[in-house]
Structure formats: structure tokens, C-alpha cells
Amino acid sequence: MKFFLLLSAIGFCWAQYDPHTKSGRTSIVHLFEWRWVDVALECERYLAPKGFGGVQVSPPNENAVITDPSRPWWERYQPVSYKLCTRSGNENEFKDMVTRCNNVGVRIYVDAVINHMTGSGVSAGTRSTCGSYFNPGSEDFPAVPYSGWDFNDGKCKTGSGDIESYNDAYQVRDCRLVSLLDLALEKDYVRSTIANYLNHLIDIGVAGFRIDASKHMWPGDIKAVLDKLNNLNTKWFPSGSKPFIYQEVIDLGGEAITSSEYFGNGRVTEFKYGAKLGTVIRKWNGEKMAYLKNWGEGWGFMPSDRALVFVDNHDNQRGHGAGGASILTFWDPRMYKMAVGFMLAHPYGFTRVMSSYRWTRHFVDGTDVNDWMGPPNNNGVIKEVTINADTTCGNDWVCEHRWRQIRNMVMFRNVVDGQSFTNWWDNGSNQVAFGRGNKGFIVFNNDDSTLSATLQTGLPAGTYCDVISGDKSGNSCTGIQISVSSDGKAHFSISNSAEDPFIAIHADSKL
Ligand code: QV4
Ligand code: CA
């Protein structure tokens, strides 16, 4: 009996780190600013058949309608209430999306903005996405309800009431992040109100949460909220399943607050990952791919089973948050595909793919002054995600997750899941290769010369289709073909001027 109790205890605590994706699905995609109707369609027509595990959606709760600048993407990080009603859709559309995605085995993870409400500078009478009245000046949010009692004003010790130094853990948690009214999560009323919001989402069928601005909440306060959460809906999840939790904590080192403080609650975003990988692929600061041999904890990242990893996110792809200029995005497609390919092939962390929209960048003194621009829209109404004949997206939706190289590497990760990191090779510079047990192998050429090498792949003999330059189609390859001999070796030749200077093969791309 004791052993069973121990097991259930382990299972119990472990569940916060488990994304509850259907077996064999190992990545999620952030469909940033998509409407719920389009997410539901994408689950059915693309994400399910292509092996995606789930979708991170934009905050679904009512937010302030910011008109200066005009409807910025970041208005969704200024809550007015927990009513499920935003530019992405209403509660019925949200419920329909969660049901339809779950029914095809694709999970939904909600971006939970629970540290704060809207900005103190937002004027009273500002509209909200569901029509609720609110008055930031008097901290009056009757649609929740929250009043002045529910905010941290008394606790914050800075003159401005805003966070003034990230070296003081107290003000980072108890003061306002860029003037956003800071909720008092030490109060049981606030904890219960937030838990009610999250339980409403859990009962609808979501699989977990991205906890926004976690650095700005005490780990213990977050835990107090999580302890009030229901188990996941047994219509789609095994009984006793707890919501998957990944906390947004930007920790590049050198601050008072560290990611490890949050490990007890769930996974944590590892921002060092994208910042370092971008530097390596750009070959800045003397970095080179040969150094990736000990990628992961060897580079000072958090333990792999606590990490949520990504190449870029909605903040740092536009200069917000952390990572700086090294962050690779869809604006640099050739390098971006290499970075995403490396991330999806490597065993470290739980992987999230970014899916963006294009906006009109306008650089002034090196800064994009249009970083605020919201999703493609017609007078504020978010545009439909149209699908072109070549499977790309229209209406300025970038759909990185539909790029052949990325979509196929999501499948690669599924095929090699559980296989160890093996057969590393490098040329001492920017030509590297590694395998995943006997299920997959990938080769990169980021040097300024051709890669020509015969490498040990660890794979069974046979002919494999490269899933970067093409697909396996019936009994043939639409792109490069690789022949693995009986000793597991194969010859690879990659021009440094190739459209995509990397090759990936796996058990399911074998003819
Ligand atoms: C401005 C000034 C303030 C001033 C205030 C007065 O900057 O100094 O006091 O006006 O009203 C928007 C504006 C910002 C404005 C603020 C209103 O951009 O200029 O303040 O609203 O108070 C997103 C955007 C922010 C945006 C915010 C709310 O990135 O620019 O602020 O939404 O709309 C840290 C955190 C980390 C955070 C990251 C961006 O540790 O948690 O900064 N990342 C998450 C989300 C991010 C979101 C928030 C947190 C806030 O990923 O998208 O910020 O929910 O590193
Ligand atoms: Ca706070």
C-alpha cells in the first residue's frame, strides 16, 4: 500500500510538468492572436494530421480596448474581467474550439494573465472587449469584481508604485509592471477569484496554462492558486490529471529572481535557450555550432524536465521582453529554420513553435517603432486565416508551423521521442551532426564551405527521404535521398549555398 501511495504521490506531483498531449505528440504551437474559429479549423485540417500536440492561444479573457496606439497586440495583456470575450471570439466559440481540438487529439493551453489588470494610465470610460465598465483610477473592476482592496498598493515600497529595480525581489513581485495594476495574490479572495477563472477553463476542457508574468508573483502565491484548481475534464483526460503549468519567468542571469524558485509549481520558460541559439546560428561573439555538443544543461540551462523551450516568442520577436538582437524570427527565414530544426531534433526541453503574423516594421535608430502593431485586421476585426493552394497562409499570417521544414521537424521529434542523443560529429566549426538513437539523424552546414562527410547515423540500412528539402511521397522522395549502408554510415553533401543547409532523416521517412 505504501508503495502505491508513493507512486500516486509521484504521479500527483509530476502531473504539473506533463503537457497531457496525446501519446507520440511532443510539441505545441503558439497561434498568436488567432481567432477561435480558425484555431478549431487548424486543429482538424492540419495540427492533428501533422502530429502537433497542442496550441497555446492568446489570452481569452476580456481586455481593455486600447486605441492609442490603435488596437495593439498587447491590449490583451491588460485584463478587465475574466469573461471569455475578446477579439479572438466569445465563450461559445472558445468552447467549440476546445471541444473540436480535443476531439482530434490536439490540446489547448491558455495564456493566463493573472498578475495584474489593466494599466493605471488607461482612462476611465475606456471600452473593453466585452463591454464591461471599469475604472483603473479607482481600481474598480465590477465585472470581476475587484476593488481597491484587491491590489498591492500598500505592499509596494517604491515611490512610483512601479517596479524600479529588478534587483529587489520584493518590488518585482509587489509593485506594478509598467504601471499595470498589481493584484494582491496573497489574499484568498483574489486567489479564489483567479482559481474560479482557471477552473472555468479547465471544465471547458483546456489542458493547462502559460502563467504570464510569473516573475511578478511570489511562487507561493502561484502555488496557492494552483492548489485550488480542478483536475482536467475526464471527457478527454485520464481521471486525476492536473493541468500542465508553464510559468513565464525571464531569467538570463544576474537578477534577484531565478527560474528555480518556480520549479515546484510546474515548468518554466527557458529564455537563455533562444538567446544563445540565435547567437550560435548567427555566429556572433565567436560562437559556433561545434559548441552545441553539450547543449542544454551543459550551457547552464535549467533541468530539461523543467524547461519549456522556444526559438522566439511573441515578445522577443518584436523587441519586447528578453533575448535581444540575437533572437531569430521568421524575418530571417533561412537561419530561423535551422534554429527551429535544431531545437526540434535535440532532446532538451518541451518545445513550442511560434506562429506569427507579418506587420510593417519601421526602424528608427535601430528600434521598430511599429512593435505594437496588432494582428491583421479590418477596422479592428481580426482577419480570417486563409489557406493558399500551396498550404501556406494568406492575409499576412506567417504560419511558420506550416513551413515544410518546420512541420516535418515537428514529426521528426515525435518519431525520435525517447531516443537518446547519439553519434555527435562536428568539424570543429559550423558543420555538425547528431542522431537520436536508431530513429533519426540530422546534419547542419552553417560554414562558408561545402560539407562532404561520411557519418555514422545509427540508423538501419536503407534509403531515407530528407524531410527538409522535401517529403516522402508514396515510394519516392520529393527532395534529397540518403542511402544508409549496413554499417549505419551514410554520405552527406551539403552546399553552403543550399536553400536550407541541413538534412534530416528518420524512421518514418525511410522508403
Ligand atoms: C507605459 C510605460 C510605463 C508607464 C505607463 C503609464 O512603459 O512606464 O508607467 O505607460 O501608463 C503596454 C505598453 C507600455 C505601457 C503599458 C501600460 O507597451 O508602454 O506602459 O502597456 O501600463 C505586454 C507588452 C508590454 C505592454 C503590456 C500591457 O510587452 O509592452 O505594456 O503587454 O499591455 C518583463 C516581464 C515579463 C513580460 C515582459 C514583456 O518580466 O513578464 O516584460 N512578458 C509578459 C508578456 C508580455 C506582456 C506582459 C508580460 C504583461 O509576455 O507580452 O507585456 O502582461 O520582462
Ligand atoms: Ca505582482
59 and 112 share one domain: yes
For residue range 115-165, what is the model confidence (pLDDT) as tens digits?
Answer: 999 999 999 889 999 999 999 999 999 999 999 999 999 999 999 999 999
Q: Of the ligands numbered here, which is closest to the C-alpha atom of 182?
A: 2
pLDDT value, residue 11: 45
Index of the ligand 1 atom closest to the CA of residue 178: 3
Ligand 1 atom closest to the Cα of residue 72 is: 33
CA distances, 497 to each of 252, 269, 446 (Å):
34, 34, 10
Per residue in 398-446, pLDDT tens?
999 999 999 999 999 999 999 999 999 999 999 999 999 999 999 999 9
Note if 168 is an active site residue: no
At 158-185, the pLDDT tens digits run 999 999 999 999 999 999 999 999 999 9
In a domain, 328, yes or no: no
Query: Measured between alpha carbons, how far apart are the two ends of the chain, in Å?
Result: 50
Q: Could you read off the pLDDT of 333-389 as tens digits, one per residue?
A: 999 999 999 999 999 999 999 999 999 999 999 999 999 999 999 999 999 999 999
Distance 508 CA to ligand 1 centre (A): 44
Instruction: Identify the three-state secondary structure at position 9.
Output: helix
Say if residue 88 is in the same domain as residue 170. Answer: yes
Measured in Å, residue 316 CA sits from the centre of ligand 1 at 12
Cβ atoms of 506 and 441 within 8 Å: the answer is yes
Cell numbers at 405, concatenated: 521544414
Q: Are residues 500 and 365 in the same domain?
A: no
Question: Exposure of 364 by Cβ count < 10 A (0-12 exposed, 13-18 middle, 19+ buried)?
Answer: exposed
**CA angle 159-163-166, nearest 5°?**
125
The residue annotated as part of the active site, out of 212, 251, 261, 400, is 212
Residue 2 counted as domain residue:
no
Is residue 332 situated within a structural domain?
no
141 and 106 together in one domain: yes
Q: 453 lies in a domain? A: yes
Closest atom of ligand 1 relative to the 115 alpha carbon = 54
Cα 150-265-299 angle, rounded to 5 deg? 125
Phi-psi region of 179 (alpha: psi -120 to 50; beta: other; left: phi over 0): left
Query: Both 38 and 126 in a single domain?
Result: yes
**Predicted pLDDT at 124:** 87
Nearest CA to ligand 1 atom 46: 315
Closest ligand 1 atom, residue 213 Cα: 41
Ranges of H-type helices in 230-388: 271-281, 333-345
Distance from residue 371's CA to the centre of ligand 1 (Å) = 12
Q: Using CA atoms, how far apart are residues 508 and 511, in angstroms rounded to an integer?
A: 8
| pLDDT at res. 12 | 46
Cross-strand partners of 494: 451
CA 225 – ligand 2 centroid, Å: 14
Of 397, 412, 447, the one marking the end of a domain is 397
Q: Is 227 within a domain?
A: yes
Residue located nearest, by CA, to atom 2 of ligand 1: 178
Q: Measure the CA–CA gap between 154 and 160, rounded to whole angstroms.
A: 12
Q: What is the DSSP string of 394-456?
A: -TTB--GGGSHHHHHHHHHHHHHTTPPEEEEEE-SSSEEEEEETTTEEEEEE-SSS-EEEEEE
Classify residue 165 as exposed, middle or buried by CB count within 10 Å of its CB (0-12, 13-18, 19+).
exposed
Ligand 1: residues with CB < 6 A are 74, 77-78, 113, 119, 121, 162, 177-180, 212-213, 215, 248, 250, 315, 320-322
CA atoms of 207 and 229, how far apart (whole Å): 12
The pair phi, psi for residue 103, each rounded to 5°, is -65, -20
Mutate to test the pocket of ligand 1, among 77, 268, 352 (most ligand atoms within 8 A of CB): 77
The alpha carbon of 180 and the centre of ligand 2 are apart by a number of angstroms equal to 9
Among protein residues, the one with the nearest Cα to ligand 1's atom 9 is: 179
- Report if residue 141 sits inside a domain: yes
Helix (H), strand (E) at residue 93: helix 91-103
**C-alpha of residue 75 to centroid of ligand 1, in Å:** 9
Instruction: Please give the distance, rounded to the nearest whole angstrom, from the Cα atom of residue 172 to the centre of ligand 2.
Output: 7
Same domain, 120 and 157: yes
pLDDT > 90 fraction of the chain, expressed in percent and rounded: 96
Tens digits of residue pLDDT in 228-268: 999 999 999 999 999 999 999 999 999 999 999 999 999 99
CATH number of 39's domain: 3.20.20.80
Task: Tell the residue nearest (CA) to atom 26 of ligand 1.
Answer: 74
Confidence (pLDDT) at 314: 98
For ligand 1, atom 25, name the residue with the nearest CA. Answer: 74
For atom 8 of ligand 1, which residue has the closest CA? 178
Per-residue confidence (pLDDT) for residue 254, from 0 to 100: 95
Q: Quote the pLDDT of residue 2.
A: 62
- Ligand 1: atom nearest CA of 122 is 11
Name the active-site residue from 42, 75, 111, 248. Answer: 248
> Shortest CA distance to 318 belongs to which of 361, 263, 284, 271?
361
Task: DSSP for 150-190, please give it.
Answer: GB-TTT--SSSSB---TT-HHHHHHSBGGGEEEB-TTSHHH
Amino acid at 144: V
172 and 94 assigned to the same domain: yes
Count structural domains, the chain.
2
Q: What is the pLDDT of residue 286?
A: 97
Task: State the Cα–Cα distance between residues 15 and 368, nearest whole angstrom.
Answer: 40
Q: To 10 degrees, the CA torsion angle through 399, 401, 407, 413?
A: 170
Q: Do 431 and 383 fall within a single domain?
A: no
Check residue 323 and give its pLDDT: 80
Nearest CA to ligand 1 atom 44: 213
Q: Which of these, 416, 425, 140, lies nearest to 289 by C-alpha position?
A: 425
* Tally of residues, the chain: 511
Mean per-residue pLDDT of the chain? 96
Phi, psi of 309 (to 5 degrees): -120, 155
Q: Is residue 42 domain-shared with residue 168, that is, in the same domain?
A: yes
Q: Are residues 155 and 246 in the same domain?
A: yes
Active site residue 270: no
CA-based nearest residue to 482, from 492, 496, 472: 492
Domain at 474, CATH number: 2.60.40.1180
C-alpha span between 111 and 25 (Å, rounded): 20
Q: Give the bridge partners for 140, in sequence order.
A: 135
225: cell is 492558486
Sequence-ordered alpha helix ranges (H) in 227-375:
271-281, 333-345
Are residues 118 and 199 both part of a single domain?
A: yes
Domain that holds residue 382: 16-269+357-397
**Cα–Cα distance for residue pair 175/158, rounded to 1 Å:** 7
Same domain, 82 and 118: yes
State phi, psi for 71 to the nearest 5 degrees.
55, 60
Domain-located, residue 166: yes
1 has a pLDDT exceeding 60: no
- Overall average pLDDT of the 86-92 stretch: 98
410 part of a folded domain: no
